Homo-oligomer: A and B are copies of this chain.
Amino acid sequence: MKTVGLVVEYNPFHNGHLYHLTKSKEQTKADVVIAVMSGSFLQRGEPALVSKWQRTNMALAGGVDILVELPYYYSVQKAQTFAEGAIRILNTLSVDTVCFGSESGDITSFYELHEFMTTHKEEWDNEVKKEMSKGLSYPKAASNAFTTLTNESKPLLSLAEPNNILGFHYVEALHKWSKTMRAETILRTKAQYHDEEIQDTQIASATSIRKALFEHESFDQIRTVLPQTSYEQLLTYGKEFHVFHDWEAYFPLLQYQVLSSSVAKLEQIYECEEGLEYRLKETIKRASSFKEWMHLLKTKRYTWSRLQRLATHVLTQTTKTEMSQLLKDGPLPYIRLLGMSQKGQAYLSSIKKDLDTPLISRLAEAKGFAATHDERISNVYKMALPPEIRAQSLYDEYKQIPIRGH
């Protein structure tokens, strides 16, 4: 069976995702669609709108055959590490082709850029260092360095576009981790990643959908831009758990954590560098919301996402030592299966005997620190649920089994 791999967050799964999924399957002539999805916390350092189980239901209804989790230690990371984790998992599951959406739409440009970057590694590194010494954030410095390096040749690819950057790192990770997997890309249409308002009646960005839910509390506004199952799953989650997860729901916990931690303890948190622990302490006292705090915290030196990821690591108390233990080389500790269709199940049976990594169905099957940390992350995510529901939900996580699609 021919397989296509997708790297997704589905926050939530909308018509744009459905389009990408369908196109990817067509273009690669795949029989089986395998998606690796960020779990509770996402690449930009935010909690997922609804739990991974609701998002798994959405994905299965949309045509994904196998859903596995991108664990926290890869999902809440800069693009390069995020991409590495996703590619490692897809490669472990013997995926033939990874297919990502991009602003470019031309896979050749990604391979060429990777080639160019490999051969110009030293100049590139120097250029980035020079730009960063001006006080710029890494992405901004990288983008400037890229412009300088390529301005005499034709610009191979715009690295100012978020999906192009991710795509570049997928190709880079392929070279590092896989001998056989290939990359393809689909041109992203219409809704841009950062669109804040719903512009179209069919396709809208996930950002604008979340905004419609939080700010306008409008289910009507999002009905037309979501597949039926996504719409229903959102409705169900809201009714059952009385919450959609955003940073504001966690702000009291975060504020409490920063205020009650010693400076020495904050300094041990992953991504807490260059004295940021003092800045965290000083600014959090003055904020009465997450948004307000981020505005107090932000400097030119760090991107919004970088600071949100730091906030996530503070919230989950993930330390530098823990992260290096989780990211250490060697085989992945396990892959957690979230859902599968009948076809997906057949595929997994066929590759099972060659798998060098445990594929687990329940958290209780997992062992070691990765499992302990995994449970911690789920537990912290559930702190946004109302207290009377929380205890039951904390318990359920342990016995939750993968969702079966058709």
Contacts and interface: CB of A to CB of B under 8 A. Distances in A.
Nearest to A376: B260
Contacts of A379: 259-260, 285
B285 A395 contact: yes
Interface stretch (A23-31, A70-78, A380-388): A380-388
A163 interface: no
Q: Chain copies in the assembly?
A: 2
Contacts of A255: 383, 390
Interface stretch (A46-54, A192-200, A286-294): A286-294
Is the contact region of chain A dominated by helix, strand, or loop, or is it mixed?
Answer: helix
A43 to B, nearest CB: 21
A103 B257 CA distance: 42
A316 interface: yes
Contact of A259 (B265, B286, B322, B376): B376
Given A285-B391, A287-B391, A288-B390, A317 B261 contact: yes
A252 interface: yes
A383 B260 CA distance: 10
A278 interface: no
Given A256-B253, A286-B395, A395-B286, A262 B388 contact: no
Interface string A219-260: 000000000000000000000000000000001110111011
Given A256-B383, A259-B380, A286-B391, 13 more contacts: A252-B252, A252-B253, A252-B387, A255-B390, A260-B315, A260-B376, A261-B317, A262-B322, A262-B372, A285-B379, A285-B395, A288-B387, A289-B387
Interface of A: 251-253, 255-257, 259-262, 265, 285-289, 315-317, 322, 372, 376, 379-380, 383, 387-388, 390-391, 394-395
10 contacts: A255-B390, A256-B380, A256-B383, A259-B383, A259-B394, A262-B322, A287-B391, A288-B387, A288-B388, A288-B391
